[in-house]
Each structure stands twice: as structure tokens, then as C-alpha cells.
Chain A
């Protein structure tokens, strides 16, 4: 049963990126810049003063157009970025599916990658060996499990990645877009697993452009626009607002 405490809490998160036009990438450029003028620098906030909480056991969909800050937000929660301002708290083990098989090494076999990505996520070798068979079974990619992952199709890659991330049994799961690949049968298997995760009161944060996924699976949705929260509430309502804003823009552009 949930403890009532939020699984994820974000307070006044801002992520500022410094965009330098033609950042000097080598010393030669640095010297030539030095003798001319300073390169133009401008800051932009990919995420601007965002605060929200996700209660334990909730499945939250994050939507918004490209560049609205969804993925940046996910990376902040995952701990990949340290935010410019604000605090992030995540209670319990976290698994992030930010990109297909992040942490997979092309030259290593599927089995070796299971271990390596587990270690990268902070699990011990023993914990990963205990889970190995179940991961292999769920991924269901046959003999390819002992072949280097560079020989995998993107679907196989994804199967293994999803299997690793969910079989390690995290309390909080972050998913970015990745369910867009894979065949229908495996997608169904993934959502079946997500349903079981929800029954087990795990917290899931899903970033996606597929509104149907949000409408069907999420308890709540957040709409991001230019790094700020534009709407937060029941999926149907938030999706409606999103669609209207897209429509308004399309009309306005004429």
C-alpha cells in the first residue's frame, strides 16, 4: 500500500542552458575568438520554475510539443542533469528508459550488457545475475542474447532494454518515448507489464507524443509549454487543452 508520501517531488526546477554561438571547440578557435570579440552567449531556460509532486503509485503522462522541455525534465528527475535551480527528490530505486538501451555497449553481447547496464544503474553483480534469466526470458530474443548487440535490430534492442529496466524492479520508472518502437505484440507485452507495475503501486512517468497512451494508461497528465507547466490534471482535459492550443496556433498561423 502507498505511504502517501510523494514518490517524486520537484520544487522550482529551472534548467538553464548556455547557448554559445559557435562555441570554440578547439584552442585555435579560442585564440581567434579571444583576439576578436567575445562570442555571443545567450541563456535559455529549457525548464522554467517547474514544481510538482507525483504521489506513489501514480502514472503520470507528460506531453507537449518538441522542445517544450519534456525530455530535459525527465533527465533532471533521472539525475543526468543537475538543475540550475531547485530541488529534486525521488523516493526509492529509479529506472530510466530515456533512450533505447542507454548504457549498452555495441561490442558486448546482450548478456554482458545486462550486467553492465545493471551496474551502471547502481545494482550489484549478484543482483543482476539473479535477475538475468528473467530478463532474458522477457526480452525473448532467442540466441541473439549471446551475440553482440550491434547485430540487433532496433526492436530487439528495445526489447532487451525494456526488459532490463523493468525486471530490476524499480519503485519509480521513467519512460521517454521508447514505446514507439517494437512490434504490436511486444508493445502489448510492455503495457501488460506497465499495468502490473501500477497494480504493485509503482510510480511511472511517461513522456510521449502518443495521446492515446496517455488517455488509456495515465491517471494524470501534465502539459509543458516552453519549459513551464501549462496544464495539470486529468488526462482527457489536459489532452484537450493541448489539442486546442495546437489548433489555435494552426489557425493563428494562417
Chain B
């Protein structure tokens, strides 16, 4: 009997060891961590229990300080004379898992940007929004044209002398100019630094030729003449008309020129507008 008992006892030992080893395999998959006891304000129990509770989201890890957990593990390593390295590794793995879970929980999560449900702001005013203002300005401008003020520049200004050209239009003057211009061939191109002519001097020449009798442009300018001569004559005539020194009329579709009635002295000094003063040879 004793042998059977001893044999039976001997037979149960390996089975017991195997059973203990089977019970040691936990959710970690290999070996259960050793019974490291943890005491903290929010948790009292073993490391394995803490691991299972966190994994099953039964505990909020943010409420559990991990410092006591780490201390318990180090005390276990130093004082418990660890013989089973698998158990120590399982404990380290559980601790690492807890540390990683807590680290992720501590990382601030960026708040999602609120959806902009408001309507897009209107773009800067476009020109159509000024329509009312433009209409108002036009009305006020028209009202302003109904009244007159003392002009800002006192006294006679050469550019403000009212001249009368009667029924002669700009087109009539242009026609007379073109008619004379077509009678001569274009000038040959000349050197650029040739001496420049003066309109003011040409005006004096024209005044010497003008008389009280009405004459057409081709009667005033005798051949031979060049196109350049025609241009200078025409410009001088226009300036004399503007200054009131010469008169113009339209007679049978022909533009005629004469000296103005108030111009008696053919050698009268003609005012030279400043902008027409050019270099003379």
C-alpha cells in the first residue's frame, strides 16, 4: 500500500506541477506575472489584476498612479530572489503595457475643428454696389453745373480768351489742311539733329501774310513749299485763331482766313504761349 501510495503520490507530482503551469498562463498568453502586490489610493491588488481590469476597461488608468506599481516591481526584483525569469518578464511586459496605455491617455487630443455652418462672408464690395453712389454723384454734378462761381484764376488768361469761329467746324479745317497737304510729296527723312522750327516765328510770318481780305489756305501759302511748311502754317493759323489774331470762315465749302478786325498793324507783336517756345536755329 505504501508503494501504491508513494507511487500515486509520485505520479501526482508532475501532474500538479503541470496544472500549476497551466494555471499560470493568463491573458498575456504565456506566463502570468508574479503576485506583485500594489497599494495605491485608487487600487489595491496584484499587478495581474490591475492589468486585467485596465485591459477590460474596468478602471481608468488616469486615476491610478503608476509610481507605486513600478516601485513594487523593483522591490520584487531586488528582494524576491527571482528564479523564474519568465514570470519576471511577464511582470515587466504587464508594466510596460500599463505605462504605454497611460502615456497614450495623457497625450492631449486635438479638438476637432468646428464645422463652419455660417454662410461665407460676402466678398469685398464689387463695383455694382457703387451704382447708387454714382447716380447720386451724377445728379449732384448736374445740379452743380446750374450755378457759376468766380473763376479761381483772376484776370485774363490767354487760354481762356473766347474765340469765335462761327459755323466753321474742326472737320472743315482738317479738310483745308489735307487739301493743301496732298499737293506736295512727302519730305525726305532728315537728320534728327536738324534745327527745329519755331511756331512762334511761323506765327509772325503768317501775320505778315494775312490781310483783311479773306483767302483760302492755298492762296496764303505760295509754292514751292514742303509738307513741313504746310504743317507749320496750319499750326500757326490755329494758334492765331485761338488768340483772336486771325479769323476763319466757311464760304462755299471753302475755308478762308483773314486777319482779325482788331489787328491793324501787320507787325503787331504776337503773344508767344510758353509751351510753343522751341529752340530756333
A and B from one complex: no
